[in-house]
Chain A
Amino acid sequence: MDSDIILVIVVGTALAFDFTNGFHDTANVVATSISTGAARPQVAIGFAALFNFVGAFISISVAATVAKDVVDAEVITPTIVFAGLIGAIAWNLITWYFGLPSSSSHALIGGVVGSAVAAVGFDAVLADGVVGKVLIPAVVAPLLAFLVAGAAIGISYRVVGKQRPGIVTRGYRYGQIVSGGLLALAHGTNDAQKTMGIITLALIANGSLGVEADPPFWVIASSAAAIALGTYSGGWRIIKTTGTRIIKMDAAQGFSAQGAGAAVILASTHYGFPLSTTHVINGGVMGAGAGKRLSAVRWGVAGNIFVAWLLTLPAAAAIGALTYGFTRIFGTGPLGPILVTLMALSLIVAAFARRAQQGAPVTAAGG
């Protein structure tokens, strides 16, 4: 009974994480379309939410990686998964508060690894999976997006360079409807699957599923809905960082950045790599900027984002480990997770209230 209560808390927390993931990543998905004038903000966000939802249904490769290749499912408990989720949510909200587009995915994996190490020790971590399926793709994917976007924008300018600017801008703006949709689809399929993987891991840990089981349909559907709702409610503050502070883009750059990001994320998803979609999209944006002119990229802002990226795994791991330690003060029952959930909800409400007091728009709908 106790473990079922914890499982319900974990599922609720995972869906809340999925919501914050969508909320946090709205900027990555729509910023280029908005900043180039290809779509009005509400339209871009609505499309992104819809494609996030659809994207969640097209693959389960990443979910399998998260559930089976990061930590040893046979020694994990639902409380460990819960603590990892809290680590990820806390880090997401901290970076959201400061307007930094860090990685929800790395926060999730960092949080779960941190809580697993705190609970069981390093034996619980599947080092091959973490290195081969998470860390190496984490380095390769943003670089790949950078290079592909840089090459793509170079080719674009060569092909359309002598055409009238009006036709070119209109053409790429139309193209951005497709490339933006694909990027949202890619984001939905990679990021929603991480939540599916985490819930599946918790179900396996609880004994509700076998170790080799795939995510049940209700897990897929609820993860899709949560990320789509989060995306629809997404934050303006990070949109500004991604869309205008890294580079000032034209429509061709926006198309190239989105196309490169979508291509890298979709290809990686197919092979089960749980990427940071944030890193990849920002890599594409920087590549599109650097491909036109190196000095067009505001490298100082890019550097701040890079530091946030570096901090994400260890910071989320530390919060996950501390959360697990805190829950154990109250034993192995549901009291610890319930108290942590109440504390986390209080902090979230306080953070939103403080942001509202500062006059900053909290959500897209509010902006």
Chain B
Amino acid sequence: MIATVVHTDELLKTVAAAVVAGIGVTFAFSLSIWGVGQFAELSRNERPVAAAGAAVIGALALAFVAAAVITGIIVMTR
């Protein structure tokens, strides 16, 4: 009875989606900023391979953010 009134399943799914999206996207975006920062720092120190690695990590993280946002909006429209 309580579970029916509270809509437990939908509430838990909401909590899970918000936690994954809110924290996951922020983490990925922070990682992309880290990638840019490291790329600039390592390039200045003439470490091109490490700089390229940081840039790839940053780019992948940014791609994850874009994918997460687009996926979220597509899910919303269904």
Bound form: Cα–Cα A228–B72 in Å: 22
Central interface residue in A145, A255, A266, by most chain B CB within 10 Å:
A266
Contacts A131-B5, A267-B21 supplied; 10 other A-B pairs, CB < 8 Å: A58-B77, A132-B6, A151-B22, A178-B65, A259-B21, A259-B29, A263-B18, A264-B18, A264-B22, A271-B14
Q: Does A360 contact B (CB under 8 A)?
A: no
Are the C-beta atoms of B11 and A140 separated by less than 8 Å? yes
**B interface residues with partner A (beta carbon < 8 Å):** 4-7, 10-11, 13-15, 17-19, 21-23, 25-27, 29-34, 36-38, 40-41, 65, 69, 72-73, 75-77
Bound form: Cα–Cα A136–B30 in Å: 32
Contacts of B5 in A (CB 8 A): 128, 131-132
Bound form: Cα–Cα A131–B13 in Å: 18
Tell me the nearest residue of chain A to B21, going by C-beta. Answer: A263
Central interface residue in B18, B34, B72, by most chain A CB within 10 Å:
B18
Contacts of A222 in B (CB 8 A): none
B41 to chain A, nearest CB (A): 8
Bound form: Cα–Cα A167–B38 in Å: 10
Tell me the nearest residue of chain B to A140, going by C-beta. Answer: B11
B2 to chain A, nearest CB (A): 9
Closest 3 CB pairs of A and B: A163-B37, A171-B33, A263-B22
Bound form: Cα–Cα A140–B29 in Å: 26
Q: Does A172 contact B (CB under 8 A)?
A: yes
Within A47-70, the residues touching B (CB, 8 Å) are: 58-59
Within A118-152, the residues touching B (CB, 8 Å) are: 128, 131-133, 136-137, 140, 144-145, 148-149, 151-152
Contact string against B for A residues 215-251, beta-carbon threshold 8 Å, 1 for contact and 0 otherwise: 0000000000000000000000000000000000000
Interface size on A, residues (CB 8 A): 47
Contacts of A145 in B (CB 8 A): 18, 22
Contacts of A171 in B (CB 8 A): 29, 32-33, 36-37
Given contact pairs A59-B76, A59-B77, A267 touches B30 in the complex (Cβ within 8 A): no
B44 to chain A, nearest CB (A): 11
Q: Does A293 contact B (CB under 8 A)?
A: no
Query: Which of A35-43, A153-161, A297-305, A319-327 forms part of the interface with chain B?
Result: A153-161
Bound form: Cα–Cα A120–B37 in Å: 64
Given contact pairs A148-B22, A155-B23, A128 touches B4 in the complex (Cβ within 8 A): yes
Are the C-beta atoms of A160 and B11 separated by less than 8 Å? no
Q: Does A168 contact B (CB under 8 A)?
A: yes
